[in-house]
Amino acid sequence: MSSLVGRNLLAGPEPDVTENAGYADPPPRMGFFTDTSVCIGCKACEVACKEWNAIPEDGLEFTGMSYDNTQGLGADTWRHVAFIEQDKPMGRADSGIDHENAPGEAPGGGATDMRWLMASDVCKHCTHAACLDVCPTGSLFRTEFGTVVVQEDICNGCGYCIPACPYGVIDQRKGDGRAWKCTMCYDRLGAGLEPACAKACPTDSIQYGPLDELRERAALRVDQLHGIGVEDARLYGHDPEDGVGGDGAFFLLLDEPEVYGLPPDPVVTTRDLPSIWTHTGVAAAALLGGIAAVFAVHGRNGGGR
């Protein structure tokens, strides 16, 4: 298992992840709140992420998925903006966007027969991060900001973290073999800067800050949308009592999570490890006891000859 700094202790619904990781006096836990109701699909976040982190381009080919040319998160896509087409009218009151000719509106503000749900996805930086549990080298570690980072110079390419992630975020780069994902621009955070994607977002769809403050802001935004008739608005990944203890990157969605390709009820994949280890220990002790008993009987029988 990984070192103390990388440990992921399953203690309570939302433990102090930075203190549990061994930091004596950490700053507030930082995170992302992505408000998809104001995303315009410009992909500025994708470009800024690639430029700052020197991530290779990943094809730029026609995918058949509307105007989306990157398809999903991967080793070479740490932020991904999805274009989800729905046969559902979306007028000005539904969108929550004030500018003219927003996606889903005809010129002049009238509703059309189709709307686009645009959403910028990213690593969730889970409270209970299974990737930390399974990493054998300590390559994955919890930072003092509560985020989860891969140290590519330590990663041995074992790939254990990939199936461990309940969101399918982590990926291995072709020709490289090591695991890569969003670091929430750890180098920028240490210098007091916001992540590149949040800095580049022109509509503040991606918001960065102390996680507790973001959760309060998100709850107010949902109330605001409900107040103007957007009843489908809901938060995803904000609840500290969900299956991963709450996400460090959570979202405001305008439809069910499955529509966005997100699991409806994510669960930390290593939640049963403690009980498995306990049962394994008991079984091993019983096996050793049985072997000892066999040798004891054999010794008595041999001594009687």
- Specify whether 71 is located in the same domain as 41: yes
Least confident interval from 159-168, 213-222, 282-291: 282-291
- Specify whether 209 is located in the same domain as 289: no
**Higher-confidence position of 285 and 29:** 29
**Higher-confidence position of 46 and 301:** 46
- Specify whether 121 is located in the same domain as 221: yes
Number of compact structural domains in the chain? 2
Residue 201 maps to a domain: yes
- What pLDDT, on the 0 to 100 scale, is given for residue 225? 97
- What pLDDT, on the 0 to 100 scale, is given for residue 11? 37
Residue 213 pLDDT exceeds 70: yes
* Mean of all residue pLDDT scores within the chain: 82
For range 199-220, the mean pLDDT: 97
Residue 14 maps to a domain: no
Burial of 283 (0-12, 13-18, 19+ CB in 10 A): exposed
Phi first, then psi, for residue 272 (nearest 5°) are: -95, 0
Q: How confident is the model at residue 7 (pLDDT cuts 50, 70, 90)?
A: very low
132: domain CATH number?
3.30.70.20
For range 229-243, the mean pLDDT: 94
Q: What percent of the chain has pLDDT over 90?
A: 60
pTM of the model: 0.77
- Specify whether 178 is located in the same domain as 251: yes
In order, the DSSP letters of 110-135 are -B-S-EEEEEEEE---BSS-HHHHH-
What are 276-299's pLDDT values in tens digits? 444 355 456 666 766 766 676 666
Least Cα distance to 37 among 171, 210, 181, 231 occurs for 231
Q: How confident is the model at residue 36 (pLDDT cuts 50, 70, 90)?
A: very high
- Specify whether 113 is located in the same domain as 247: yes
- What pLDDT, on the 0 to 100 scale, is given for residue 151? 94
- What pLDDT, on the 0 to 100 scale, is given for residue 103? 44
For range 46-52, the mean pLDDT: 96
Provide the domain limits for residue 287.
272-305
Residue 4 pLDDT exceeds 70: no
Residue 4 maps to a domain: no
- Specify whether 236 is located in the same domain as 305: no
- Give the integer Cα–Cα distance in Å for 274 and 240: 20
- What pLDDT, on the 0 to 100 scale, is given for residue 269? 86
Residue 10 pLDDT exceeds 60: no
166-194 burial string, b = 16+ CB within 10 Å, else e?
A: bbebbbbbeeeebbbbbbbbbebbeeeeb
- Specify whether 83 is located in the same domain as 231: yes
Residues ≥6 apart with Cβ < 8 Å to 184: 30, 31, 32, 123, 125, 145, 147, 149, 195, 248, 249
- Specify whether 81 is located in the same domain as 31: yes
**Higher-confidence position of 53 and 20:** 53
Residue 130 maps to a domain: yes
- What pLDDT, on the 0 to 100 scale, is given for residue 19? 73
- What pLDDT, on the 0 to 100 scale, is given for residue 284? 60
Residue 9 maps to a domain: no
For range 225-241, the mean pLDDT: 95
For range 126-135, the mean pLDDT: 94
- Give the integer Cα–Cα distance in Å for 274 and 281: 11
Residue 47 pLDDT exceeds 50: yes
- Specify whether 256 is located in the same domain as 282: no
- Specify whether 120 is located in the same domain as 252: yes
- Specify whether 243 is located in the same domain as 298: no
Residue 16 maps to a domain: no
- What pLDDT, on the 0 to 100 scale, is given for residue 66? 64
**Higher-confidence position of 75 and 96:** 75
- Specify whether 202 is located in the same domain as 263: yes
